Amino acid sequence: MSIALADEIRIDSESDIVVARKLVRDTATSLGFGLTDVTRIVTAASELTRNIYIYAGSGIMRCRPVASDARRGVELVFEDKGPGIADISKAMTPGYTTSRGMGMGLPGSKRLMDEMDLKSAVGQGTTVVVRKWLHK
Amino acid sequence: MKTSQKPSNRSGQNAAPGNEAASAYNRSLIEASLDAMVTIGPDGRITDVNGATESVTGRSRTELIGTDFSGYFTEPAKAAAGYQRVFRDGQVRDYPLEIRHSDGHVTSVLYNASVYKDAEGKVIGVFAAARDITERKEAEALLAKASAYTRSLIEASIDPLVTIGPDGKVTDINAATEIATGYPRSELIGTDFAGYFTDPAKARAGYQQVFRDGQVRDYPLEMRHPSGKVTSVLFNASVYKDAEGKVIGVFAAARDITERKESEARIKQQANEILELSTPVMQVWKGVVVAPLIGSLDSSRTQQFMERLLSRIVETNSPVALVDIMGVPTIDTQTAQHLIEAISAVKLLGSQVVLTGVRPAIAQTLVHLGVNLSDISTRSSLAAGLQVAFTKLELEVVKKSQPGRAETKP
Amino acid sequence: MTAENISVISLRNLLLVTVPPDPDDETISALQQKILESMARHDARGLVLDISTVQTLDSFFARTVMETVQMVALMGGRTVLAGMRADVAVTATQLGLSIGATQTALDVDRAFDLLQGEIQGGRTA
Ligand SMILES: Nc1ncnc2c1ncn2[C@@H]1O[C@H](COP(=O)(O)OP(=O)(O)O)[C@@H](O)[C@H]1O
Ligand SMILES: [Mg+2]
C-alpha cells in the first residue's frame, strides 16, 4: 500500500470549506470508498471545517490515508487554536448549539464516521480526529 | 634457534626409565598405547618409537630410528618448529600435525610433548605422543556441515526468525527478518527487539512472557517497515539454553498473516454480498418497489438495506416502496430506529414507504417500545400495501371479465 | 459559483431553481435572496428546488433550505425539494437532519405535477 503524504488545508474563510470538501472527496474516492461513504466523509468534513471557521475563525484540516491491521481507511484531523469547548459532552448532544446552528455537526459527524476523537481545552483550541475504514 | 639450550625445570612425566623393572613396565605401557609415541634427540632425530608409530607411518622401528622426525609429516617445517618449541618451553599441548603414511595417506594428529631429562636433570630429548584426531575432525566437519545446513534452513525460512538476549536486544536474525524490518543484519543485531513493532510495549511484554513461561504461541504483533508498511505477524517463541541448561535467550519465529487477514476481509466482503442477495429490492410495478426483510436486523445490515433501498428507488424512479417485515422474527428499539431512519431517508428522495407484514407480535413490541410510527403508512399484508401503492399512483386493479369495474379493496 | 450563475426559471405561476453541485455559503445565501425576489416579481405560487446535482447536504445548507421554505410559505408559495440523490439522503438522515413537513419529489417533473395538482385543487399554503 502506498503511503501518501498528508494534505493540509488552511481554513480561514468560508470558501476554504469548499476546498476542504474537494480534497476529502478526491482522497476518499481514490482510496476506493463507495459513493455513499464518500458523501458521508465529505459531509463530516464540511461540518467540522465549518466549526473551525465559525467558532475559532481559523485552523487547519489534514487529510491522509491510514492503514492498520490490514485495514485501510482515511483520517481527517481538524485543528484550531480557538476558544475551545468547555463542556464536550454538551457539545456532542444533538441539537446543542451556541450559534443558532442545528447542533448536529459534532454528533452527526461521529455517526457518519467510524471513529472520532475530540480534544479541547478552553482558551487553547480544539482538535477533532475522525477516521473511516474501507469494508467495515 | 638452538634446541638444547635453556633446559626447563619441569620434569617430563614420561621421563626415561630409572631402573630396569620400572623401565620394562613403562615400555609395555608405551607399546600398548594407541597413540603414536616418539622420542626425539636434540638434533631432531628419532631415538625411539612405539608400535602405534610404526603403523601410522607405515615404517618399521628400525627404519625410523635415527631419521629426521620432521620427515614424516606433510609440513616438515611445522613439525620441526614443534619439537624446537618443546626444547625451548619444556612442552607443547595439542600441536596439530599431519603424519604421512608410506602409502601416501594422511592422519591428522595432535601432539602433546615434553622434554625428558637424565639423572642430573639435563634435558636429553623430547617425548612426544600423537593422538589420532581423524575421527574427531570428521565429526567436527559433520557438525559444521550440519550447522551450516541448519543455518541455511534458517536463512531459507520465509518466516522472520530472531534470537533475543535477556536484555531484549536482538542477537541474531535471518534474511526474512531483514526483509520484514527493512534493516540489514548489521543494523539489527544489538538493537532493541521491541523497536521494530507498532506497539513496542506489547512486543516487550511478549518476550518477557517467553523468559517467564518458557514459550509463547501465536502472539500477535505488527512489524513496522521504515517505508511505513506494517506486517501483521503471529510470534511463536521459546527460550534456548546453554550446555548447562541455563536460559541464554529467546528464539522467536514470526508468521506473516497479512494474507490470512486479507482473506478474512475477503470472506467478510463475500458475506456482505450474500447479505445483499438476502435483502433484494424488486420492482414489482412501474413506480413500485418491494423490499422483503427476512431474518434479524442488526445495525450494519439495516444500514446496507437502507442504501440499497434508496438507490433502487432512484434507479426505478419509484414513488412507492413497500418494506415488508413479515420475515423479521423480533424487533428492538435500535432496529426500529434504523427502520424509521430508512423511512425518513426515503421521504427525502420524494418517495414513500409503506410498511407491510406487521405481525401482531411486532405491533405490540413497537407500541411497548414507544416507537412512533404514526407518520408512516402501515398495512398488515403485502397485498394491502400494494393496494395503497396503486391508489397513490392513481392506478386501478380491474377484473378482465368485467371491464370498467374497479376491484376496490380498502 | 456566484449569485449571477444561479438559474431561476419562472413557468406560469411556478419557479424552478437549480442548486449548483457544491455551493459555498455565499452562493447558498445568494440563492435564498434570489428566490425570494423572484417569488415577489413573478407572484409565484410554488417553488421547485432542483437539488439533483447537490453532492453535500450539510447542516448549514439544510438550515438555509428550511429557512427559505418558511420564507416562501410566508409569501404564499409551496416548496418541493426535487431529485435528492440516494447517497445524500442516506447521509443527511444519518447526520440527523430533518426537513420537517417540506415536500419532496423524485424529480422535477413529479414536483411540477405535485404543485400543479395542489394549486389547482385550491390547497395553497
Ligand atoms: N472548533 C470549535 N471550537 C469551539 N467550539 C466548538 C467547536 N466546534 C464546536 N463547538 C461548539 O460545539 C457546539 C456544537 O457544535 P455542532 O455540533 O457542530 O453544532 P452547531 O455548529 O450547529 O452549533 C457549537 O455550537 C459550539 O459551541
Ligand atoms: Mg457545527
For residue C61, the enclosing domain spans 3-118
Decide if C91 is inside a domain: yes
Tell me the C-alpha distance between B55 and B57, whole Å: 6
H or E element in which residue C46 lies: strand C46-50
- Provide the pairing of β-strand B106-117 with B91-100: antiparallel
Domains defined for chain B, CATH in brackets? 19-136 (3.30.450.20), 157-256 (3.30.450.20), 277-409 (3.30.750.24)
Are residues A38 and C94, on separate chains, in Cβ contact within 8 Å?
A: no
Please give the residue that has the higher pLDDT: either B63 or B137: B63
Of all ligands present, the nearest one to the C-alpha of A128 is 1
CB-based contacts of C33-37 (< 8 A; 24+ apart in sequence): C33/C3, C34/C3, C34/C6, C34/C8, C35/C8, C35/C68, C35/C72, C36/C68, C36/C71, C36/C72, C36/C75
Least confident of B76-90, B268-282, B354-368, C2-16: B268-282
Tens of pLDDT, residue by residue over B176-216, are 888 888 888 889 999 999 989 989 999 999 989 999 988 88
Which grid cell is B394? 392513481
Q: What is the DSSP letter of B226?
A: T
Tens of pLDDT, residue by residue over A5-18, are 458 999 999 999 99
Q: Are B342 and B302 in contact (CB under 8 A)?
A: yes
What pLDDT shows up at residue B409? 44
What pLDDT shows up at residue A70? 74
In a mutational test of the pocket of ligand 1, which residue from A53, A106, A116 has the highest number of ligand atoms less than 8 Å from its CB? A106
Tell me the C-alpha distance between C117 and C25, whole Å: 34
Residue with cell string 612425566: B13
What pLDDT shows up at residue A135? 72
Residue C2 — pLDDT band, cuts 50, 70, 90?
low
Instruction: Write the residue in A70, A135, A136 that is nearest to B232 by C-beta.
Output: A70
- In sign, the C-alpha dihedral spanning A85, A88, A90, A96 is positive
Which grid cell is C39? 417569488
Tens of pLDDT, residue by residue over B144-153, are 776 666 666 6
What pLDDT shows up at residue B10? 43
H or E element in which residue B148 lies: helix B134-156
Tell me the C-alpha distance between B83 and B93, whole Å: 11
Mean pLDDT in residue range B54-61: 92
- Provide the pairing of β-strand C14-18 with A115-121: unpaired
Buried b (16+ CB within 10 A) or exposed e, C71-98: ebbeeebbbbbbbbbbbbbbbbbbbbbe
B neighbours by CB contacts (3+ pairs under 8 Å): A, C
Are residues A3 and B227, on separate chains, in Cβ contact within 8 Å?
A: yes
Residue numbers in B near C99 (CB within 8 A): 348
What pLDDT shows up at residue A136? 55
Tell me the C-alpha distance between C59 and C57, whole Å: 7
Tens of pLDDT, residue by residue over C31-46, are 999 999 999 999 999 9
- 3-class DSSP state for residue B100? strand
Decide if C45 is inside a domain: yes
Asked whether the predicted pLDDT for residue B270 surpasses 80, the reply is no
**DSSP states along B347-407:** HHHT-EEEEE---HHHHHHHHHHT---TTSEE-SSHHHHHHHHHHHTT---B-TTSTT-B-
Tens of pLDDT, residue by residue over B346-378, are 999 999 999 998 888 888 888 887 777 777 888
Q: How far is CA B392 from the centre of its chain?
A: 67
* Structure ipTM: 0.91
Residue numbers in A near C22 (CB within 8 A): 18, 21-22
Residue numbers in B near C88 (CB within 8 A): 348
Determine whether B7 is exposed, middle or buried from the number of CB atoms within 10 Å of its CB (0-12, 13-18, 19+).
middle
Decide if C80 is inside a domain: yes
Residue C86 — pLDDT band, cuts 50, 70, 90?
very high
Averaged confidence pLDDT in chain B: 82
Tell me the C-alpha distance between A93 and A104, whole Å: 8
Tell me, using a 6 A CB cutoff, whether residue A124 lines ligand 1: no
Taking CA atoms, A8 is separated from A59, A78, B21, in Å, by 10, 10, 103
Q: Are B53 and B37 in contact (CB under 8 A)?
A: yes
Please give the residue that has the higher pLDDT: either B24 or C50: C50
Are residues B318 and C106, on separate chains, in Cβ contact within 8 Å?
A: yes
- 3-class DSSP state for residue A93? coil
Domains defined for chain A, CATH in brackets? 7-133 (3.30.565.10)
Tell me, using a 6 A CB cutoff, whether residue A125 lines ligand 1: no
Tell me the C-alpha distance between A54 and A40, whole Å: 21
Separate counts of helices (H) and strands (E) for chain A: 4, 5
What pLDDT shows up at residue A68? 80
Please give the residue that has the higher pLDDT: either A1 or B317: B317
Taking CA atoms, B295 is separated from B224, B321, C8, in Å, by 42, 19, 48
Tens of pLDDT, residue by residue over A125-134, are 999 999 999 9
What pLDDT shows up at residue B275? 58
Tell me, using a 6 A CB cutoff, whether residue A102 lines ligand 1: yes
Domain count, chain C: 1
> What CATH code is carried by the domain that includes residue C23?
3.30.750.24
**How crowded is residue B154: how many other Cβ atoms within 10 Å of its Cβ?**
18
Please give the model's pTM, rounded to 2 decimal places: 0.61
Asked whether the predicted pLDDT for residue B277 surpasses 70, the reply is no
Q: Are B222 and B197 in contact (CB under 8 A)?
A: yes
Residue B14 — pLDDT band, cuts 50, 70, 90?
very low
Asked whether the predicted pLDDT for residue B9 surpasses 60, the reply is no
Q: Which of C55, C59, C98 should one mutate to test binding to chain A, selecting the residue with the greatest count of A CBs within 10 A?
A: C59
Tens of pLDDT, residue by residue over B216-264, are 888 999 888 888 788 888 888 888 887 777 888 888 888 888 777 777 7
Decide if C125 is inside a domain: no
**CB within 8 A of B173, min separation 6: which ones?**
B160, B161, B162, B163, B185, B188, B189
Residue with cell string 436486523: B297
Give the N- to C-terminal CA distance of chain C in Å, as an integer: 32
What pLDDT shows up at residue B397? 64
Tens of pLDDT, residue by residue over A34-60, are 999 999 999 999 999 999 999 999 999
Decide if C69 is inside a domain: yes
CB pairs under 8 A between A and C: 73
Asked whether the predicted pLDDT for residue C112 surpasses 60, the reply is yes
Q: Are B118 and B42 in contact (CB under 8 A)?
A: no
Residue numbers in C near A101 (CB within 8 A): 59-60, 63
Angle between helices A105-112 and C86-95 (to 10 degrees): 120
Decide if C112 is inside a domain: yes
What pLDDT shows up at residue B139? 77
What are the φ/ψ torsions at residue A54 (nearest 5 degrees)? -70, -45
| Ligand 1, atom 23: closest residue by C-alpha | A97
